[in-house]
Amino acid sequence: MFKTKSLLVMAATLAGSLAMGQQKTITVYTTAANTSLRLTENGKLDFSPGRQPLETEPFVLVDPSSPFQAIIGIGGALTDASAETFAKLPKDKQQQLMTAYYSTSTGIGYTMARTNMQSCDFSSGSYSYVADNDAVLKTFSVAHDEQFKIPLIKQALAASGGKLKLFVSPWSPPAWMKDNNSVTGGGKLKPDMDQAWANFFVKFIKTYEAMGIPVWGLTVQNEPMAKQKWESCIFTAEDERDFIKNFLGPTLQKAGLGEKKLIAWDHNRDLIYQRASTILEDPAAAKYVWGIGFHWYETWTGGPMLFNNVQLTHQAFPSKNLIFTEGCKESFVFDSLQAWWLGEKYGYSMINDFNDGATAWTDWNILLDEHGGPNHVGNFCFAPVHADTRNGQLIYTNAFYYIGHFSKFVRPGARRIAVSTNRATLQTTAFVNNDGSIVVIVMNTTDAPMSYHLMLKGQSAAAESLPHSIVTLIIK
């Protein structure tokens, strides 16, 4: 509470000093299509006394006196696929990638990470940590992960200065724990395996932590309503609620892991409110749940992203955190790696998710190869960075830079603040960091430039949004 009050006091002081005519600096960072600008510092703006804007004058109005949720972090997933691809890179390219993602000075400063518990589609094949029918988990071993994934996670932890918040997600329990006797094709956890599966989470977390990898949180089940040709397992809302309150929650508590952030749902925005309400309206389940995770793939129906469902969930359950746990552009095509819509999809989602109450945002694979994998079922996708393993080169898509406009400047502990625009062209969100700096992000997805005024407490600065661009403005 003290930190929150302190940063808001600093922001109010900054705004007040502006009102008294004390000059503050606005530093501009831009990424724009058909230019060389990629998260590039490209100018400074000056405030001057403002006036009532006319309806004909585009503006972005920032108000730090209206604070909203605190931001926990932004990052991406450290999967088997990312780790296997990373291992194929020359050492200098490995170091370049770690710096690019995790350095706060020369990189984009990731502070969140997700990894798969057992195999997922972005693994080279299906695997398990236990032998068949070992319900007491005597054979439990993460030796599989020691070849590629654990070394990558440890390098990412080191590159982040030990500040990476890692959460873990299962795609499927072992086949013999499920009613379809397969890790693929959906299926459900057998009723007599509830406790063994809850124990499995504890075993995994404690094993990783004993190996020097702190685990910040966990999700109950990746995409619990998806019957996939890859690793998947079905949990209805009632199933997940009962598993949390009767098995997973109490088991974590008894094992001394009650402080781990337990995240429910971990699927698309379409059913987020239905899932959240079923679980969180039950006090016996809700007491174990830190937050609700969500993905962006509800667009498979042909419709748009359903941000209103995120907002509704936040309004109904304001004490619970909302965390974006996965998103990527599917159907990989190598020739589209420089397509501009890749980054704009990220910018659009991040602006709206934060504005609708998200406290953290985690991308899917941090790195994939030139085929959009490896993926053992051919579900090849895009990542912000791809390695061409044929020549050892890294290819940075503009998605990397769009994400960086948030992760580099919106630091853990920041609070989202009010921001308003009078033009749909100017998509925007804003934050205040712990040091009192104000971060304003403005995105333009149209073919035309847009001149506007950045307004703050009676002061105004002339600015321009280039066609197909994203800008971060830092006010100090």
Output the CA–CA distances (angstroms, integers) from residue 373 to 81, 239, 378, in the order listed.
6, 32, 8
Is 298 a residue of the active site?
A: no
What six digits make up the tokens of 88?
A: 């194929």
Output the CA–CA distances (angstroms, integers) from residue 147 to 215, 274, 402, in the order listed.
19, 40, 32
Q: What are phi and psi of 392, to 5 degrees?
A: 75, 20
Q: How many CB atoms lie within 10 A of CB 395?
A: 15
The tens digit of pLDDT for each residue in 349-387 reads 999 999 999 999 999 999 999 999 999 999 999 999 999
Catalytic residue among 223, 231, 298, 344: 223
Q: What is the pLDDT at residue 7?
A: 54
Q: What is the pLDDT at residue 8?
A: 56
Is 326 a residue of the active site?
A: yes
Q: What is the pLDDT at residue 22?
A: 64
Q: What is the mean pLDDT of residues 316-330?
A: 98
The tens digit of pLDDT for each residue in 200-251 reads 999 999 999 999 999 999 999 999 999 999 999 999 999 999 999 999 999 9
Which one, of 252, 254, 256, lies nearest residue 244 by Cα? 252
Residue 391: pLDDT above 60? yes
* Phi-psi label, residue 220: left if phi above 0, alpha if psi -120 to 50, beta otherwise: alpha
DSSP bridge pairs for 235: none
Output the CA–CA distances (angstroms, integers) from residue 402 to 265, 345, 364, 466, in the order listed.
26, 9, 15, 14
Q: What is the pLDDT at residue 18?
A: 53
What residues contact 23, with CB distance under 8 A and at least 6 apart?
46, 47
The tens digit of pLDDT for each residue in 7-29 reads 555 555 555 555 555 668 999 99
DSSP calls for 366-431? S-EETTS---TTS--B--SEEEETTTTEEEE-HHHHHHHHHHTTS-TT-EEEEEEES-TTSEEEEE
Q: What is the pLDDT at residue 1?
A: 39
The tens digit of pLDDT for each residue in 252-291 reads 999 999 999 999 999 999 999 999 999 999 999 999 999 9
DSSP 357: T
- As a whole number of angstroms, the distance between CA 468 and CA 449 comes to 8
Q: What is the mean pLDDT of residues 58-85?
A: 98
Mean residue pLDDT of the chain comes to 96
Q: What is the pLDDT at residue 24?
A: 84
Band of residue 96 on the pLDDT scale cut at 50, 70, 90? very high
Pairing of strands 217-219, 165-170: parallel
- As a whole number of angstroms, the distance between CA 233 and CA 189 comes to 7
Exposure string (b/e) for 176-207, b if CB count within 10 Å is 16 or more? bbbeeebbbbbbbbbeebbebbbbbbbbbbeb
Q: What is the pLDDT at residue 12?
A: 58
- As a whole number of angstroms, the distance between CA 274 and CA 278 comes to 6
Catalytic residue among 84, 231, 298, 326: 326
- As a whole number of angstroms, the distance between CA 185 and CA 176 comes to 14
- As a whole number of angstroms, the distance between CA 183 and CA 350 comes to 32
Q: How far apart are the first and last CA of the chain?
A: 23
DSSP bridge pairs for 113: 76, 166
The tens digit of pLDDT for each residue in 136-158 reads 999 999 999 999 999 999 999 99
Percent of the chain with pLDDT over 70: 95
Query: Is 14 in contact with 64 (CB distance < 8 Å)?
Result: yes
DSSP 235: -
Token pair 């990527």 is at which residue? 328
Q: Is 27 exposed, middle or buried (0-12, 13-18, 19+ CB in 10 A)?
A: middle
Which one, of 87, 165, 178, lies nearest residue 124 by Cα? 87
Percent of the chain with pLDDT over 90: 95
- As a whole number of angstroms, the distance between CA 16 and CA 19 comes to 5
What residues contact 413, with CB distance under 8 A and at least 6 apart?
3, 7, 70, 71, 433, 434
* Phi-psi label, residue 216: left if phi above 0, alpha if psi -120 to 50, beta otherwise: alpha
The tens digit of pLDDT for each residue in 165-187 reads 999 999 999 999 999 999 999 99
What residues contact 200, with CB distance under 8 A and at least 6 apart?
129, 130, 137, 140, 173
Q: What is the mean pLDDT of residues 311-335?
A: 98
21 by DSSP, 3-state: which?
A: coil
- As a whole number of angstroms, the distance between CA 129 and CA 350 comes to 35
